[in-house]
Structure 1
């Protein structure tokens, strides 16, 4: 039940603003309402108390005068007190209503139907010990004739009968009107809250929309700029802080567009330069290679120094031609002109063919190539590019494998196929795992290339894998070798859920 509000709270700024504003308004209104009801209650009770004390004091003075002037020889004190209680209660029925309880010499004298227990014991004790003072306390007026009890106020005093002693008198004033007044105040406060809450919610929502609309517009504009619409701009109205935000956003977009255009122009010039240089070098390279081939074919007739120079010239020309080929391929990737020639192939046969092609190089480096694969794994890929990836990975593994075994593993699952190439040579650190795909990067610059690579092989392999919609990952540890994992979708351009083979070798997964 709390997930939806929590999701709104985390995703919607307007929801947080409205919620916080309503909660703050509730707190303020609650405190204000409580103070209003409390002050009203206090004021009504104080007014009722003053009125009741004044009324009781006047009635008590009249009763005292009547009792003082009474001839007790013709009637008893109890009869006189009963008569005074009846007269006082009659007066209460006309004006400020109250009931009377008098503690007589024989028994308590009360107004008709009033329960003596309505007078609390603490005020009885206070009147007994308090002389001529008046005392008040809240009470519940009980009745002996079945009437419903009601909230009231007791005002207690005493009558002095000549020669007979002191008789406590209690006036029980009803609080019905005051309770009704308090109920009206409370209902008014609740009604005001019921009207105020929806009103403040709507107002805060409108205010939040007014404040957040430019922010949302800034978000939409930034998303469109990020999507490539560099000419997108915010509309500016007014000169307040939000308008300043819009102007800042537009200025940032202008500067960003200008910088991107500069970088695009620079990148275009760079890609064109590489492409032009590569193409222009083709013609002289062909001429030089023809001459070098002639010299290389006749090397046995040369002296030792000339023969060795011819052999070195042939090797370096091979490297130079490979570098030009890879530079042309990189320029195609940079220009976005690389395309796949997809075919239905058996990946196992493809890898096995490349292993066979690399075996002379492996034998020259005393390296054993091991292929661990199922009988057949058919998929739709570009065989030329996939074989070039495997060739680059194998040649690197042989060069850096220190003469130890190189193991190739092929696996497949429901969404992808994968090939891992594992060597046990020099390896590289975990921090260098992403750098190995950087163009011309070398883990150890002082180490001479024995295979003769150009430094672009792994970069091209990564581009080929990504062109298929796949991955090329690397794992390595110094002194423990390296493992490269190629993951491709079953059909080039499809989605890959999870690679069927781990990038970390099984014997190193416990690290």
Structure 2
């Protein structure tokens, strides 16, 4: 699992990630090549310095050894002065031993290791060892001195020579090369960053065009198109994007036309039905006044017809109201009213005072559309009476800025799956119930009325059980639609 710090430090933009990837590849490549060159250069430089030191020591010893033959062939035994002269002639720091006789520069004995002494004592021609000293890396070269007779035979002289050569100059040369390489690497890194920015800018420009076009489409400009020149993959992506946008524009235009036709059809049919329904409503109510003299079958048929005509009349009225909201022609007729009085008149007109408990302040003033607030309350209370259980409670709250109307019942409440859809038109939670007692538009109309006042309605369940609808309206709207 990645740590939060790693997640936060990750570059968020595509540009930053591309530049980081480009620079990382450049740095890793340069580092790998530099490391390989450094190792090769270091090994070659040190090996060359060592070989030069070894060749120099071998040459000096080869020149100085014949001078040791001045003593008799039967007895070769150099003294302290002889060893001192031999050591001085070698040049640099050296250690020359012959048995117990030792000629050495100060501090050199500590540099010569026991392993190197043992290798020289074993009779090896010439051995050397790289060691670290207080002054830096040092090369210690050791060799036994061999005497060559007139017949060409070689015998050990008993003299062992150890020469110390300082490799500090070689290290300084290597450090200087490293500093030069580091400076070049920094310049290369800067060039890589600049090149990455230029490259990424060219790559991301078409992407930004696509982003801006997509944003225009999201804002509703379906005619926006992206123009990416060239024939690469991004140009192909832009072409595919434009084809998708064209298809989307055609589909949206077709859907909008169909929706407009449907709304126009509903509005036209509703208006055309209103006149004959008014006549039919008058006729059935005349028949209703005469049901006392009818037989049982005729009376039931007449009452059923009256109910159905009333329901159809309400449906047509709701459809006409919905068509006004859809067409954007609905306007709020605002006036100063007493919200408590508006609710009371709504309940009295529909004979609901015996079934509804009303609480709230009296003699307050708010700027509302009296008729539409009456419809809003009626739709919420009617829904509670039909689908909930008594008692139905209407709670009015008025503060400095809002009018809050809460309608609750004591029924089973709203299922969680229905809360988000309860304001949809013709929504039915019980799909098995094909016919609703109302028009199926009451809650949708109530929500439109609340929004017409720049308010809203929320649906949910009360803590005590039962459904709860809360309409919140501005007490003094700032604008009038």
Q: Judge same fold: TM > 0.5, yes or no.
A: yes
Change (3 A) 1:13 1:64: same
Task: State the partner residue of 1:282.
Answer: 274
Task: State the partner residue of 2:44.
Answer: 43
Task: State the partner residue of 1:389.
Answer: 376
Q: Note the C-alpha offset of 1:202.
A: 1.2
Take 2:82 and 2:400, find their aligned partners in 1: how far apart are those partners? 110
Take 2:400 and 2:216, find their aligned partners in 1: how far apart are those partners? 36
Task: State the partner residue of 1:322.
Answer: 314
Task: State the partner residue of 2:28.
Answer: 27
Change (3 A) 1:231 1:168: same
Match of 1:219 among 189, 211, 219: 211
Task: State the partner residue of 2:418.
Answer: 432
RMSD over aligned Cα atoms? 3.4
Task: State the partner residue of 1:65.
Answer: 66
SS at match of 1:442: coil
Take 1:299 and 1:457, find their aligned partners in 2: how far apart are those partners? 31
Match of 2:94 among 100, 113, 117: 100
Change (3 A) 1:35 1:320: same
2:427 pairs with 1:441: yes
Q: Deviations over 1:198-230 (max 9, x none)?
A: 111111111111111111101111111221222
Take 2:451 and 2:199, find their aligned partners in 1: how far apart are those partners? 48
TM-score, normalization by structure 1: 0.81
Match of 2:127 among 124, 129, 135: 135
TM-score, normalization by structure 2: 0.85
Unaligned runs of 5+ in 1: 90-97, 143-148, 495-511
Change (3 A) 1:362 1:486: same
Q: Note the C-alpha offset of 1:355.
A: 4.5
Change (3 A) 1:382 1:17: farther
Task: State the partner residue of 2:438.
Answer: 453
Match of 2:104 among 110, 113, 121: 110
Task: State the partner residue of 1:331.
Answer: 323
SS at match of 2:422: helix
Change (3 A) 1:123 1:327: same
2:154 pairs with 1:154: no
Q: Deviations over 1:150-186 (max 9, x none)?
A: 5421111223589996333111112243223212320
Match of 2:167 among 175, 199, 205: 175
Change (3 A) 1:441 1:31: same
Change (3 A) 1:382 1:153: farther
Contact 2:337 2:366 in 1 (8 A): yes
Task: State the partner residue of 1:341.
Answer: 333
SS at match of 1:437: coil
Deviates more, 1:295-304 or 1:211-220: 295-304
Task: State the partner residue of 2:151.
Answer: none
Contact 1:428 1:443 in 2 (8 A): no
Q: Note the C-alpha offset of 1:456.
A: 0.9
Q: Note the C-alpha offset of 1:251.
A: 0.6
Take 1:290 and 1:7, find their aligned partners in 2: how far apart are those partners? 77
Take 2:364 and 2:46, find their aligned partners in 1: how far apart are those partners? 94
Unaligned runs of 5+ in 2: 149-154
Contact 1:85 1:109 in 2 (8 A): yes
Take 2:47 and 2:400, find their aligned partners in 1: how far apart are those partners? 85
Deviates more, 1:227-236 or 1:438-447: 438-447
Q: Note the C-alpha offset of 1:270.
A: 0.5
SS at match of 2:189: helix
Match of 2:472 among 487, 492, 503: 487
Contact 2:108 2:164 in 1 (8 A): no
Task: State the partner residue of 1:9.
Answer: 11
Contact 1:417 1:488 in 2 (8 A): yes
Deviates more, 1:374-383 or 1:307-316: 374-383
Contact 2:23 2:192 in 1 (8 A): yes
Take 1:189 and 1:480, find their aligned partners in 2: how far apart are those partners? 79
Count residues in correspondence.
467
Contact 1:424 1:480 in 2 (8 A): yes
Q: Deviations over 1:63-101 (max 9, x none)?
A: 333224446989942211111111121xxxxxxxx4322
Q: Note the C-alpha offset of 1:400.
A: 1.9
SS at match of 1:392: helix
Contact 1:417 1:490 in 2 (8 A): yes
Take 2:240 and 2:156, find their aligned partners in 1: how far apart are those partners? 98
Change (3 A) 1:414 1:301: closer
Match of 1:474 among 459, 463, 467: 459
Match of 2:255 among 249, 263, 268: 263
Change (3 A) 1:416 1:362: closer
Q: Note the C-alpha offset of 1:305.
A: 4.1
